[in-house]
């Protein structure tokens, strides 16, 4: 570890739509870098893929949890995180991209850009992560590098240019033309152990020259000196090394993307590894991180240097059956040493680092320390959650955390036997620690345990993991939708709480103005008291009373969101007023005010993307309309498929995957993600309120 300089580190993620070949490409990388002796299969009864190590992943052939592996290639150390493609596990992609420096975006060469490709691309944009594009499966029937490249231009970015062109088509693909060296690199069989360097095939010379010219034109835009020379002396004046240097600047800007293609299992993966080593950022290429002093709020900078004070971000929690709770951390500055004490700035507590391990999917290797720019896992921390900052106690810093959306789907769960009851509580707590989009709470009215997640598959996996990993048998109820309430009108209302019971009484009197807030803004409280009519010490109690009422809902018991409450008047009693009285007054005013401020019910609406053969398009559209959906767009895709984008209420979408399979003879596929909350139509709202009242 100590022999690899920081400039040779690469922290990258593999991101893509489900089934594009992320895990297979990762397997190809591990095989080519010598970490595995064979390429694992994503599906089948064999040993399975290295990074798909969970039983559920092997059975379903999908990635559920992001897995970290470390490998070495041409004196570079590469930390790779293989992320899930299914939308239910999008939080795994989110938290991985938060700590990674670069990403390889994999596309299915038969499909081009798919729905989830766009989602992960947006996530990478959000964190400013430079990318390389790998068009996979172009050697399969229907695979087409150039059509896939066109779909990247049409739907993601025009600034994506090939750095390699494939030699051959579909099953006859046997290598690539490298546009930097202007050489051909071929193989006889994808499993060959080396690429043979040679001349560009005669029928590709013109195409390669044109593609290289475009690449040079784009590269020189990122280097002023080269740009001037290019204008004066032309393309021939620029050397290979100068072109590589300019392209690296272009890729690191996060606005330009190199594109290559091939078979993710094959020897061509070596060319992808070369691109990662040559063009992906090192920790030293990334800006210094900024955080706040948790005590003073002052901005603090931390450079990616082992001599700086320690700052690290916990980005993933995993339960390991052998070592207990594993905390995956990205170290931004300083050193994290086994046995040392760190400060958890979220809790303000000091904790001791037990062990530090280098992860290889579900296997681990003990290491003594981990330095700035590296990723590893820590054992022995108790109160650390996703997004926690770990730092030097003498130099505290709070880094920006990771935000996750609220899960829209809930189900009731109960243990099958008395013996399972205690085990279930422990299992749910552990799983909730691991997964920030999985929530557990108890319904106060019914006493039921409610679990919430991002979708049916997400909750199905959670229940399956409880059974296998924690030996807990449970019964589950019907999926429930996470409805919300809000108001459409403005209301000024008095809340007065007076109680006399002999001796000291209770007195609290407030006037609140309740009004709608912008969508997504949540609850905001404003203190507009003048002249002390409500003393300063009672105002936080008024806010607490409002929040408590909002959490329990007013019209149907669902949480109230996107509302502003302004405390602008009131009165108090010298003897009888107390925090409890003002909390009750705030609660009474809120409850009555919402009822009079045009309350409405909101429901989660999903963005549904269906890819279907044209024969079934009419059935699919008819079914979406029957589910209260609205069609947003219809597009032609590669291979004669049609893509339908629509917005459909989540309440109408349970069991949709099975229904879609039946109506399309198993040939259509869909993906869903939470788009926004929208008002429920009045007739549907009445049914929901009546059902809730029962």
Q: Integer distance in angstroms from the first to the last C-alpha of the chain?
A: 63
For tokens 């290889």, the residue is 360
Shared-domain flag, residues 160 and 118: yes
Alpha helices for 280-417 (secondary structure H): none
pLDDT tens digits for 363-420? Answer: 678 888 888 888 888 887 887 888 889 999 999 998 887 777 778 788 888 888 888 8
The whole-number pLDDT of residue 51 equals 41
pLDDT in tens, 199-251: 999 999 999 999 999 999 999 999 888 999 988 888 888 889 999 999 999 99
Q: Do residue 26 and residue 78 come from a single domain? A: yes
pLDDT at residue number 63? 43
Q: Which of 577, 597, 617 is the last residue of a domain?
A: 597
pLDDT by residue (tens digit) across 275-334? 999 999 999 898 888 888 888 888 999 998 888 999 998 888 776 666 677 888 889 999
> Between helices 269-279 and 22-32, what is the axis angle to 10°?
90
Residue 153 forms part of a structural domain: yes
- Summarize the confidence of residues 493-511 as an average pLDDT: 87
| pLDDT over threshold 90, residue 635 | no
In a domain, 175, yes or no: yes
CB count, 10 Å around CB of 98? 21
Region 429-447 average pLDDT: 80
What's the confidence (pLDDT) of residue 589? 95
In this structure, the answer to whether residues 162 and 272 fall within a common structural domain is: yes
The pLDDT, as a whole number, for residue 66 is 53
Specify the higher pLDDT residue, 377 or 647: 647
- Euclidean distance between CA atoms 600 and 618, whole angstroms: 34
Which H, E and C letters describe 159-194, residue by residue? CEEECEEEECCHHHCCEEEECCCCEEEECCCCCCCC
Residue 93 has pLDDT above 80, yes or no: no
In this structure, the answer to whether residues 415 and 379 fall within a common structural domain is no
Predicted confidence band of residue 64 (pLDDT cuts 50, 70, 90): very low
> Would you say 361 and 51 are in contact if contact means Cβ atoms under 8 Å apart?
yes
> In the structure, what pLDDT confidence band is assigned to residue 90 with cuts at 50, 70 and 90?
low
User: Final residue of a domain: which of 399, 419, 448?
Assistant: 399
Determine the average pLDDT of the residues in 613-618.
89
| pLDDT beyond 60 at 40 | no
pLDDT-based confidence at residue 361 (cuts at 50, 70, 90): low
Residue 238 falls inside a structural domain = no
Residue for token digits 């004196």? 75
Q: How many helices and strands (H and E) does the chain possess? A: 16, 38
Residue that is written with structure tokens 């190199």 in the block: 258
Flag whether 244 is in a domain.
no
Judged against a pLDDT cut of 50, whether residue 43 lies above it is answered with no
Buried b (16+ CB within 10 A) or exposed e, 571-598: ebeeeebbbebbbbbbbbbbbbbbeebe
Main-chain phi, psi angles of 262, to 5 degrees: 160, -155
Q: Give the residue-averaged pLDDT of 446-470.
A: 82
Q: Which CATH number characterizes residue 173's domain?
A: 3.40.50.300
- Single out the residue of 169, 172, 178 nearest to residue 144, CA to CA: 169
Question: How far apart (Å, rounded) are the C-alpha atoms in residues 224 and 278?
Answer: 21
Average pLDDT, the chain: 85
250-281: per-residue pLDDT in tens?
A: 999 989 999 999 887 778 888 999 999 999 99
Domain count, the chain: 5
Q: Which tokens in the block code for residue 660? A: 């879609």
Cβ–Cβ < 8 Å for 380, 352: yes
CATH number of the CATH domain containing 624: 3.30.70.240
The predicted model gives 665-677 an average pLDDT of: 81
* 513 is a domain residue: yes
Per-residue model confidence (pLDDT) at position 52:
39
Residue 141 · residue 50 · CB < 8 Å: no
What pLDDT was estimated at residue 36? 60
Q: What is the DSSP letter of 287?
A: P
Return d(Cα 486, Cα 519) in angstroms, integer: 10
Same domain, 111 and 258: yes
Under a CB-based contact definition with an 8 Å cutoff, are residues 146 and 638 in contact? no
What SS3 class is residue 370? strand
Could you tell me if 166 and 272 lie in one domain?
yes
**Rounded Cα distance, 93 and 16, in Å:** 10
Contact 469, 545 (CB under 8 A): no
Residue 651: pLDDT band (50, 70, 90) is: confident
CA distance 480 to 444: 16
In a domain, residue 198? The reply is yes
Q: Are residues 47 and 189 in the same domain?
A: yes
Per-residue pLDDT at 38 exceeds 60: no
Of 232, 267, 285, the domain-final residue = 285
* The predicted structure's pLDDT at residue 485: 93
227 within some domain: no
Q: What is the mean pLDDT of residues 178-192?
A: 85
Identify the pLDDT of residue 29: 83
One domain, residues 528 and 562: yes
pLDDT per residue over 127-179, tens digit each?
Answer: 889 999 999 999 888 889 999 999 999 989 999 999 999 998 888 888 899 99
| pTM > 0.75: yes or no | no
Higher per-residue confidence, 3 vs 431 = 431
Say whether pLDDT at 62 is over 60: no
Same domain, residue pair 605 and 593: no
**Same domain for 650 and 522:** no
Can you spell out the DSSP letters for 114-154? -HHHHHHHHHHHHTT--EEEEEE-TTSTT--HHHHHHHHHH
Kindly state whether residues 530 and 584 are assigned to the same domain.
yes
Report pLDDT for 92: 67
| Residue 269 and residue 297 in one domain | no
Instruction: Tell me the residue range of the domain where 520 lies.
Output: 489-597
**Cα–Cα distance measured from residue 536 to residue 605, given in angstroms and rounded to the nearest whole number:** 41
Residue of 512 and 42 predicted with greater confidence: 512
Contact 336, 378 (CB under 8 A): yes
Residue 305: helix, strand or coil by DSSP?
Answer: coil
Domain assignment present for residue 170? The answer is yes
**Residue 604, pLDDT above cutoff 60:** yes
| pLDDT for res 264 | 78
DSSP 663: H
Lowest-confidence region among 90-94, 463-467, 471-475, 661-665: 90-94
Q: At 342, which CATH number?
A: 2.40.30.10
């Amino acid at each position: 570890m100590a022999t690899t300089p920081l400039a040779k580190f690469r922290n990258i993620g593999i991101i893509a739509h489900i089934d594009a070949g992320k895990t297979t490409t990762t397997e190809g990388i591990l095989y080519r870098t010598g970490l595995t002796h064979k390429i694992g299969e994503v599906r089948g009864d064999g040993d399975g893929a290295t990074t798909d190590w969970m039983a559920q992943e092997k059975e379903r052939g999908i990635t559920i949890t992001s897995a970290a592996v470390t490998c070495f290639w041409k004196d570079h150390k590469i930390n790779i995180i293989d992320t899930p493609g299914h939308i239910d596990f999008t939080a795994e992609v989110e938290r991985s991209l938060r700590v990674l420096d670069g990403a390889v975006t994999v596309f299915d060469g038969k499909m081009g850009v798919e729905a989830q490709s766009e989602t992960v691309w947006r996530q990478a944009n959000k964190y400013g992560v430079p990318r390389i594009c790998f068009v996979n499966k172009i050697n399969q029937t229907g695979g087409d590098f150039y059509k896939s490249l066109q779909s990247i231009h049409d739907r993601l970015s025009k600034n994506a240019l090939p750095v390699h062109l494939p030699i051959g088509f579909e099953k006859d693909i046997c290598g690539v033309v490298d546009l930097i060296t202007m050489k051909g690199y071929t193989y006889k069989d994808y499993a060959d152990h080396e690429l043979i360097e040679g001349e560009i095939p005669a029928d590709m010379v013109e195409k390669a020259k044109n593609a290289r010219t475009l690449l040079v034109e784009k590269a020189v835009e990122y280097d002023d000196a080269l740009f001037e020379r290019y204008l004066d002396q032309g393309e021939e004046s620029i050397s290979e090394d100068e072109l590589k240097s300019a392209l690296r600047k272009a890729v690191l800007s996060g606005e330009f993307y190199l594109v290559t293609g091939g078979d993710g299992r094959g020897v061509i993966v070596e060319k992808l590894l070369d691109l990662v080593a040559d063009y992906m950022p090192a920790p030293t290429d990334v800006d210094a991180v900024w955080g706040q002093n948790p005590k003073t709020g002052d901005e603090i900078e931390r450079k990616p240097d082992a001599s700086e004070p320690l700052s690290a971000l916990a980005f993933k929690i995993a339960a390991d059956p052998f070592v207990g709770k594993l905390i995956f951390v990205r170290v931004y500055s300083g050193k994290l040493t086994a046995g040392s004490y760190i400060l958890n700035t979220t809790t303000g507590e000091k904790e001791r680092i037990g062990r530090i391990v280098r992860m290889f999917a579900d296997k681990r290797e003990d290491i003594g320390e981990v330095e700035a720019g590296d990723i590893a896992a820590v054992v022995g921390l108790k109160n650390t959650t996703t997004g926690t900052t770990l730092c030097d106690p003498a130099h505290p810093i709070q880094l920006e955390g990771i935000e996750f959306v609220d899960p829209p789907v809930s189900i009731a769960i109960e243990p099958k036997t008395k013996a399972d009851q205690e085990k279930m509580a422990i299992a749910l707590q552990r799983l909730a620690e691991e997964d920030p989009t999985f929530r557990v709470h108890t319904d106060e009215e019914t006493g039921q345990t409610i679990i919430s997640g991002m979708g049916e598959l997400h909750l199905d996996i959670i229940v399956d993991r409880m059974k296998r990993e924690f030996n807990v048998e449970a019964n589950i109820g019907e999926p429930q939708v996470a409805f919300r309430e809000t108001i459409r009108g403005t209301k000024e209302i008095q809340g007065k709480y007076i109680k006399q019971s002999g001796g000291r009484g209770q007195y609290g009197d407030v006037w609140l103005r309740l009004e709608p807030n912008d969508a997504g803004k949540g609850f905001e409280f404003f203190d507009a008291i003048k002249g002390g009519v409500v003393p300063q010490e009672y105002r936080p109690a008024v806010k607490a009373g409002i929040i408590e009422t909002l959490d329990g809902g007013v019209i149907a018991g669902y949480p109230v969101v996107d509302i502003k409450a302004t405390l602008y008047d009131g009165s108090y009693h010298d003897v009888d007023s107390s925090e409890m009285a003002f909390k009750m007054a705030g609660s009474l005013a809120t409850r009555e005010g919402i009822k009079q401020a045009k309350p409405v019910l909101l429901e989660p609406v999903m963005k549904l993307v269906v890819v279907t053969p044209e024969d079934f398009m009419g059935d699919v559209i008819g079914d979406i309309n029957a589910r209260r959906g609205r069609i947003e767009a219809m597009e032609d895709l590669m291979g004669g498929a049609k893509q339908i984008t629509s917005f459909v209420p989540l309440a109408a979408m349970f069991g949709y995957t099975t229904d879609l399979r039946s109506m399309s003879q198993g040939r259509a596929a869909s993906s869903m993600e939470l788009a926004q909350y929208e008002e429920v139509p009045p007739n549907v709202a009445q049914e929901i309120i009546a059902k809730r009242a029962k």
